[in-house]
Amino acid sequence: MTLTTLYDFVSALSTLEWVVVGLMWLVSTAALHFVFLRWVFRRSWSLYRNLKRPILLLRPTFPAGMSVPGSDLSSEYQLIKDNGVLNVHAPSDTSTFNPARNHCIVVVGYRPGMLGLDDLLARIKSNHVPLIIYTYGNTAVVPTDKTKLDSYPYILMANFKLTLLNHIFSTVSSFPYARS
Written in H, E and C, the secondary structure of 119-168 is: HHHHHHHHHCCCEEEECCCCCCCCHHHHHHHHCCCCEEEECCHHHHHHHH
Pair (121, 69) in one structural domain = yes
Pair (34, 60) in one structural domain = no
Pair (106, 41) in one structural domain = no
Pair (62, 148) in one structural domain = yes
Tell me if 180 is assigned to some domain: no
Do 105 and 168 touch, CB atoms closer than 8 A? yes
Q: How many domains does the structure of the chain reveal?
A: 2
Domain boundary among 20, 35, 52: 52
For residue 71, CA distances in Å to 67, 120, 145 come to 8, 17, 18
Dihedral pair phi/psi, residue 58, rounded to 5°: -120, 120
Pair (145, 65) in one structural domain = yes
The C-alpha atoms of residue 147 and residue 159 are separated, in whole angstroms, by 18
For residue 28, CA distances in Å to 16, 134, 165 come to 18, 50, 42
**What domain range is 8 assigned to?**
1-52
What CATH number does the domain containing 133 carry?
3.40.50.2300
pLDDT per residue as tens, the chain (180 positions): 687 887 788 788 888 888 889 999 999 999 999 999 999 888 888 778 777 888 889 888 777 766 666 678 888 899 888 988 888 888 888 777 777 777 888 999 888 888 888 888 888 888 888 999 998 877 788 899 899 999 999 999 999 989 999 999 888 888 877 654
Pair (84, 12) in one structural domain = no
Dihedral pair phi/psi, residue 106, rounded to 5°: -115, 125
Domain boundary among 52, 77, 95: 52
Tell me if 12 is assigned to some domain: yes
Q: Tell me, what's the pLDDT at 68? A: 67
Q: Tell me, what's the pLDDT at 172? A: 87
Pair (61, 133) in one structural domain = yes
